[in-house]
Amino acid sequence: MSEVILHHYQLSPYSEKTRLALGLKGQGWRSVEIPIWTPRPKLTPMTGGYRRTPILQIGAEFYCDTLLILRVIEKLGGSGALYPKGQEGLAKAFGWWIEKGSFMNAVCLTIGNMSGKIPQELVDERRPLFRVNLDPQALLPKRAIYLQRLNAHLAWLAEVLADGREFALGSDPSAADLSAYHPIWFARQNGGPEIAELIAFSGLVDPWYARVAALGHGKHTDMTPDEAIEIARAHQPNDPDGWSSEAKNVGIRRGDRVSVTPDDYGNPVHGSLLAWTADEIVIRHEDPSVGKVNLHFPRVGFDVALAEEAA
């Protein structure tokens, strides 16, 4: 099998979730550091412009969104279980809830405390993506709101951990812990002691947080963006043909040119539809610099539609 390549940047909470997943599974990986804000001229041609972070690459297969990326990492084998047997659906639903409830609130709470540390380019670039002004001066006055919203969800996490269990689903770590951890990690790493203290339920959350952090990131070595492009170019993409009747019911057929768009924030990506299963959408993308590649998306959180002719 071709190497597991993670396109990510250090500051990114969803990348931290993925790094920990690789650590939990003991999976070796190659690290391609991408710019924190666009343009990303080396990455964009490979991913058809999908612009969220992180992205996992294996040969000419590109996996978008950590919901799918963690499932791919799980299938690679290794130690532990991101989706423990009998708790697969629970781990996914838990992760969906806590990320929706806490991620943006933790980010806005934290950045409000990062005056002088957030480049204007980042504020300007993220504004249309998140539809939020990430300027610390704009976020600080709203601290009370973000704090209430974050702590309301952390109260549920504390309730889950209140019986003394070591991890969210029991005695072993899973994807559920990683989803709960990364927004708190972002706040603690970047918000300083003031924000760390504002985050409630520390008595219950702290020992759990330390256990998740101890999973580490696994063995990894750096790779240049050009090496990653070369690997994509050197591999033939797979030809998956999984199909669900759902696709038929919405009037889309294999081979149609479609757009795939996150249902919360982010841009559409276009390509020819190869597979549509209960769990995954796969489209074929082609670019002169990398040739043919497959882009994979989770079914949950993405909308597929026939592409406009001009797309």
Ligand X SMILES: N[C@@H](CCC(=O)N[C@@H](CS)C(=O)NCC(=O)O)C(=O)O
Site for ligand X contains 65 (CB under 6 A): yes
Nearest to 42 by CA among 233, 219, 217, 261: 233
Phi/psi of residue 55, nearest 5 degrees: -135, 140
| Smallest distance from ligand X to CB 40, Å | 8
In the complex, least distance from residue 309 CB atom to ligand X, rounded to whole angstroms: 28
Three-state SS for 279?
Answer: coil
* 149 phi and psi angles, rounded to 5 deg: -65, -45
Residue 236 Cβ, how far from ligand X at the closest point, in Å?
26
Burial 177-209 (b: 16+ CB within 10 A, else e): bbbbbbbbbbbbebbeeebeebbebeebbeebb
Q: Which stretch binds ligand X (CB under 6 A): 47-55, 71-79, 116-124, 132-140?
A: 47-55
Q: Which is nearer to ligand X, 15 or 204 (CB)?
A: 15
Q: How many CB atoms lie within 10 A of CB 210?
A: 9
**Is 13 an interacting residue with respect to ligand X (CB under 6 A)?**
yes
For the chain, the straight-line distance linking the first and the last C-alpha, in angstroms and rounded, comes to 34
- Would you count residue 14 as binding ligand X (CB under 6 A)? yes
Instruction: Pick from 7, 19, 51, 296 the residue near ligand X by CB under 6 A.
Output: 51
Q: Does 67 bind ligand X (CB under 6 A)?
A: yes
Tell me the window of 46-54, 116-124, 161-169, 237-245 that interacts with ligand X (CB under 6 A): 46-54
CB atoms within 10 A of CB 41: 10
User: Residue 220, Cβ neighbours under 10 Å: how many?
Assistant: 17
CA–CA separation, 170 vs 198, rounded Å?
A: 27
By CB under 6 A, how many residues form the interface with ligand X?
A: 10
Contact track, ligand X, 117-146, x by CB under 6 A: ------------x-----------------
Do 293 and 236 form a contact (C-beta atoms < 8 A)? no
Q: Which is nearer to ligand X, 128 or 288 (CB)?
A: 128
Residue of 21, 27, 45, 53 interacting with ligand X (CB under 6 A): 53
Residue 94: which of 183, 156, 24, 150 has the closest Cα?
156
Tokens 């919203």 correspond to 149
Select from 48-56, 73-81, 191-199, 302-310 the region that touches ligand X (CB under 6 A): 48-56
270 binds ligand X (CB under 6 A): no
Among residues 47, 57, 66, 105, which is the contact residue for ligand X, using CB under 6 A?
66
CB of residue 13 to ligand X, shortest distance in Å: 5
CB of 310 to ligand X, least distance (A): 25
The reply to whether 220 sits near ligand X by the rule CB under 6 A is: no
Using CB under 6 A, list all residues that contact ligand X: 12-14, 51-53, 65-67, 129
